[in-house]
Structure 1
């Protein structure tokens, strides 16, 4: 499990006082704080499940944390949980009044499973189902009389697929062959399960087929192949399944695997865009998602031949599910409608109810859900020439408040993640505060093909940092002053912030690092055991690549950092331990470089709670004004 070093001196003292590390914020404050508060406070809805009656389970964060709500077919809302911490998922248990809920403690990501009864009046009681606070239990699905989940409780590293019998309260392992099981797709007849397993190359997934009766395992794709796989969707008769895959090609195509002849066949292919599909239980319809330049559009197709019927009428310029970057659609059991989670730069995540027969599309919102501010805008899409002739895709958000003449480069996490055309309130807040915001998909990002997301693997790590320098040099072409530019990023984006400040100290005027990696070596040594095996595939192996890992670590160049830094970290982060922030903070504090640190004892990998966002982000924006506005 997570091992963290002794808290850094400056951070430990600050936490005792409940203060930030570093100089006190200056007198300049965000001029439009009501707009910022509105942006961070806008609630969202996310679809989780649909039952036979057409009721929905929805995550809604109107209380300040994501909680499960039941939405009846007539549109009546009912809160099912009211926990101090965020809920991670929930499923109806078919043929019962039960709902199984996954939740954790303080952002630890150590999911625990509990049951509630919809027949209980008021707020139902959560009854522990699978609890062991030392390990992860991730809810996969619920079948009549049993719950499927994955867990690393056998050895702390490998994930097993387990079926929990609700009658006998016993567990049975359906798969315990080792590795990180990242996705599970049970067949409708419950005889088969497709597992998505992290495989040997970086950013690659192996597909396994498990017979739930005999527990025999069939390899559907090679372990050592450089293939990504996503969005497994079974055909309603359980004779095969659809999957989004880039096997033998650069882009994700929609392919079909048939159990009868054990053969793969292409369903839909587009050499310039990524595709995925979700089959309807009625055997007639297929929702197809198309990802292009950060936008995910949906269209209705025929399941038998893949031909397009009609586009789903969602607003353009947003995202509606694809490649695990946004939530997948959920079909109702009879296929009469689909619950789709959609978001865009001007629309927080919102559940829509789509009826294929009529084309009807209705937003599923509680009555009190407010509308976003009118001044929100969609970005421009541009390309930035980099050091080696590659073109870096970027989204540019122009200031929606009084223009400060400053620029923030907002780098996504991952590294195999992506900046999408979805709801990112921090970006909107930065634009509302008067900054130009450049959101890049540097090399290593998903959504632009296998070749692009492989260009930062292992020894190519610092080439993605060079993309930041190229963006800095390009800023005058959009009317921005490079001398008044800063970096902002979370997780791997936090690594990019620290790397930019350390390897390009003459370029950046400030940085905001959220749960970022300071040293690739100490990160790999101290991250959770179950994450280390996968992350070494991406960054390099401690046993054989230590010299390179040291050379690519911002901490080894910390003496070159001269720009002020603002850092946010959750004390319970299982991915990037707090010790990463402690190391860089102590080093900068000793040199007198301004470094403000906020540590939240009830958070994990980033900020999930509204009260903490409303505390941290306005302070971060004030920090940027202090150091960028003359």
Structure 2
């Protein structure tokens, strides 16, 4: 590990420069569609059967996509500047002009004022979700590629999560956020008469995900925690309307995807943030076959794209990472059991010396146990500590690649990555413990973690908070509600006021987020009390803030108002705003500007003998 400050910066830069490759689709001819950020932002590439790479897109925003079955074509979803207003285009790959020539890209569904999300692909049509009807509700639309004729399949209102159409085209199953926080309702839509059947009730506190149809359209498989503490893989039969449990585990969340052939079931098991995968026989006759990815990593879930089957079910593509291995795609052949790792050709090797975390359970005053990963420097560190809090809050810190964590450890800090109450991956009860009026119980977990630091031999006077999105709220809340505990904070696209956040977030997100945080109509007083901005007079720790100007989720005004309030009080703070980013930093140039500066800020304020001193700066840096 490097030791001088300049070497630390070079080490982090080397981590950030390692390209990330994520699997998007796979076909039966040996081709794999991947996202790759080697050019500075995540664009689509194709890896051929012989391992050759071809770049497919060069767009302003992040690009994702799927193969169009039966054709040499790709449907692309892309936004501009991180604004998340997805547009759909078609790439024609029928004529290959060579690996250095981008294939032609044609607009398919374009209206920059609204959001369009790719929901499914068929040989002659695409399914997509759009809020163009009123800017709020998402409708499901089927578009014929030959004629451009569009048919609305669902317009029942609200935000729509996942969509899966039956092979015979007669049904669509979709998930929709329902009344309780972190719950998803399951709906069955007939494409023949438009009838919508609620397979789970509006008020039911259950979570459904990853629906996938059986090949004869007789039913589908879905991941559900209905009647369970942990998510299991279950089957729904159309004729009998009966549910059957396929794979369950009383101690772990499972997620499953049935193969297009109906023979196999891919199941991901979440074991304290380590996600393993195995192929099960759908009929239960035989043992599951684990896919031999390295231990302690993450092969699915959370911020990785879902695994995807080829059209025949002969191949799988999935995305893998671990604390010591950056994101890469994997192609798995079922017949041979062979794995092909897809990493960017010629990419720099990632540095040695990265560490795996220890797993702990940290006690709280009210008797809970916080699942926490502890990353220790190889030499034991200098006693300083940084808590890295995930976003969501309906999310989980997994044992996956995080160059910021690796960079902090290289700087000599011990890093704690907790899954505070409200996190997923540890059962229904745990993820419900921060809903609405329980919000500050989650913030109190930060204090419990701080109280635990001396047991690790760490210096509680040199402890900082780092987080993005909801994690950014947690950073600000920790500094505001526990000002004596924290020496510094780094807030990335975080929420300063739950009231102004809900007032100013995108219209289509407001009701969705009110389920978790509370509504402006019924809970305004509590939302005000739980907001860091309300307690800004207590804040005294230096703060570093990063935000994207185009953020549709947490508006830039959240960063601006907390920085203005702290600046007025003389609290050291710095704000960096990036004009071409949205909810987080997607572009390498911006990451290379912001993250080394944030870690240098922490190194300064966590150095031995440093106090809460410094010069207030307010820098808005637009990166073109």
Cα-to-partner distance string for 1:28-77 (whole Å, 9 max, x where unaligned)? 95542221111111111111112343322110111111000112222221
Q: What is the number of equivalent residue pairs in this alignment?
A: 601
1:134 maps to which of 113, 121, 124: 113
Q: Quote the residue 2:612 is aligned against.
A: none
**C-alpha contact (below 8 Å) 2:545/2:576 kept by paired residues:** yes
Query: Larger deviation: 112-121 or 467-476?
Result: 112-121
Equivalence map 1:77-96=2 (5 Å): 77-87=53-63, 89-96=64-71
Q: Quote the residue 2:272 is aligned against.
A: 293
Deviation, structure 1 residue 190: 2.4
Name the CA distance, whole Å, in 1 between partners of 2:113 and 2:28: 35
Equivalence map 1:219-234=2 (5 Å): 219-234=198-213
Name the CA distance, whole Å, in 2 between partners of 1:303 and 1:557: 55
Name the CA distance, whole Å, in 1 between partners of 2:484 and 2:539: 9
1:280 maps to which of 259, 267, 285: 259
Deviation, structure 1 residue 169: 1.6
**C-alpha contact (below 8 Å) 2:28/2:315 kept by paired residues:** no
1:351–1:306 CA distance, 2 compared to 1 (3 A): farther
Name the CA distance, whole Å, in 2 between partners of 1:150 and 1:567: 33
TM-score by length of 2: 0.94
Name the CA distance, whole Å, in 1 between partners of 2:286 and 2:267: 10
Deviation, structure 1 residue 401: 7.3
Name the CA distance, whole Å, in 1 between partners of 2:338 and 2:371: 35
Query: Larger deviation: 443-452 or 77-86?
Result: 77-86
Q: Quote the residue 1:341 is aligned against.
A: 319
Cα-to-partner distance string for 1:202-258 (whole Å, 9 max, x where unaligned)? 000000111222222111111110001112122222211111111111100111101
**C-alpha contact (below 8 Å) 1:522/1:580 kept by paired residues:** yes
SS at match of 1:300: strand
1:617–1:214 CA distance, 2 compared to 1 (3 A): same
Does residue 73 (structure 1) correspond to residue 49 (structure 2)? The answer is yes
1:478 maps to which of 456, 470, 475: 456
Cα-to-partner distance string for 1:469-521 (whole Å, 9 max, x where unaligned)? 00000001111100000000000000000000000000000000000000000
Deviation, structure 1 residue 185: 1.2
TM-score by length of 1: 0.93
Deviation, structure 1 residue 307: 4.6
Q: Quote the residue 1:606 is aligned against.
A: 584
1:98 maps to which of 73, 96, 108: 73
Query: Larger deviation: 301-310 or 213-222?
Result: 301-310
SS at match of 1:416: coil
Name the CA distance, whole Å, in 2 between partners of 1:336 and 1:166: 27
Deviation, structure 1 residue 195: 0.5
**C-alpha contact (below 8 Å) 2:26/2:315 kept by paired residues:** no
SS at match of 1:181: coil
Name the CA distance, whole Å, in 1 between partners of 2:487 and 2:104: 51
1:546–1:306 CA distance, 2 compared to 1 (3 A): farther
1:155 maps to which of 127, 130, 134: 134
**C-alpha contact (below 8 Å) 1:230/1:244 kept by paired residues:** yes
Query: Larger deviation: 409-418 or 301-310?
Result: 301-310
Does residue 108 (structure 1) correspond to residue 87 (structure 2)? The answer is no
Equivalence map 1:421-436=2 (5 Å): 421-436=399-414
Does residue 369 (structure 1) correspond to residue 347 (structure 2)? The answer is yes
Q: Quote the residue 1:62 is aligned against.
A: 38
RMSD value over aligned CA atoms? 1.4
Deviation, structure 1 residue 310: 2.2
Name the CA distance, whole Å, in 1 between partners of 2:358 and 2:581: 34
Q: Quote the residue 2:620 is aligned against.
A: none
The gaps in structure 1 that reach 5 residues or longer are: 1-27
**C-alpha contact (below 8 Å) 1:30/1:622 kept by paired residues:** no
Deviation, structure 1 residue 365: 2.5
Provide runs of 4+ in structure 1 moved above 6 Å: none
Q: Quote the residue 1:184 is aligned against.
A: 163
Q: Quote the residue 2:619 is aligned against.
A: none
Q: Quote the residue 2:9 is aligned against.
A: 33
2:532 maps to which of 551, 554, 572: 554
**C-alpha contact (below 8 Å) 1:31/1:433 kept by paired residues:** no
Name the CA distance, whole Å, in 2 between partners of 1:402 and 1:382: 17
Q: Quote the residue 1:48 is aligned against.
A: 24
Higher relative contact order (CA 8 A, sep 6+): 1
**C-alpha contact (below 8 Å) 1:402/1:433 kept by paired residues:** no
SS at match of 2:161: strand
**C-alpha contact (below 8 Å) 1:232/1:244 kept by paired residues:** yes
Deviation, structure 1 residue 304: 0.9
**C-alpha contact (below 8 Å) 1:194/1:209 kept by paired residues:** yes
Name the CA distance, whole Å, in 2 between partners of 1:308 and 1:61: 38
Name the CA distance, whole Å, in 1 between partners of 2:538 and 2:194: 55
Name the CA distance, whole Å, in 1 between partners of 2:220 and 2:325: 32
Equivalence map 1:532-611=2 (5 Å): 532-611=510-589
**C-alpha contact (below 8 Å) 1:54/1:332 kept by paired residues:** no
The gaps in structure 2 that reach 5 residues or longer are: 609-624
SS at match of 1:501: helix
Equivalence map 1:399-410=2 (5 Å): 399-400=377-378, 403-410=381-388
2:176 maps to which of 174, 197, 217: 197
**C-alpha contact (below 8 Å) 2:27/2:315 kept by paired residues:** no
**C-alpha contact (below 8 Å) 1:325/1:417 kept by paired residues:** no
**C-alpha contact (below 8 Å) 1:236/1:279 kept by paired residues:** no
**C-alpha contact (below 8 Å) 1:401/1:433 kept by paired residues:** no
Name the CA distance, whole Å, in 2 between partners of 1:587 and 1:328: 41
Does residue 213 (structure 1) correspond to residue 192 (structure 2)? The answer is yes
Equivalence map 1:221-260=2 (5 Å): 221-260=200-239
